[in-house]
Amino acid sequence: MTGSTDDSAIAATGETLRTVFDFAAPTFRSKYGSLEGFAMALSGPIYERLLEATSIDRGPIERDGDRATVTVLARHPAGDRTYEFVLKKQHGGKYAGCWMTVSIDLVYDGVSPSFRRMPTVRFGDRERTCDQGERLRDVLLRIDGYSPYNELAQVANCGGNGLCGTCAVEVEGETDEPGPREQARLSLPPHEGTDRLRLSCQTVVRGDVEVTKHDGLWGQHIQERTEIEDTDDAPEPIDVTQAEYDGSYEYETGSLGSGVEGHASTTDETTDRTQGVSDDQ
- Predicted confidence (pLDDT) at residue 273 exceeds the cutoff of 50: no
The number of residues making up the chain comes to: 281
pTM above 0.85, yes or no: no
Hey, which CATH number is domain 8-116+243-255, 1.10.3050, 3.10.450, 3.10.590, 3.30.70? 3.10.450
81-89/99-108 β-pairing: antiparallel
Which amino acid, residue 67? R
Interval 94-118 mean pLDDT: 91
Query: Residue 234: which pLDDT band, with cuts at 50, 70 and 90?
Result: low
- Predicted confidence (pLDDT) at residue 8 exceeds the cutoff of 90: no
Give 69's contacts (C-beta < 8 A, 6+ positions apart).
Answer: 61, 62, 84, 85, 86, 87
Task: Provide the CATH number for the domain formed by 120-212 in this structure.
Answer: 3.10.20.30
The burial class, CB within 10 Å (0-12 / 13-18 / 19+), for 3 is exposed
- Which pLDDT score is estimated for 281? 36
Domains 8-116+243-255 and 120-212 fall in the same CATH topology: no
Rounded to the nearest angstrom, the gap between the alpha carbon of residue 73 and the centroid of all alpha carbons in its chain is 12
Which amino acid, residue 228? I
Q: Select the highest-mean-pLDDT range: 51-55, 165-169, 216-220.
A: 165-169
Domain boundaries, the chain: 8-116+243-255, 120-212
Helix, strand, coil shares of the chain, percent, nearest 5, are 20, 25, 55
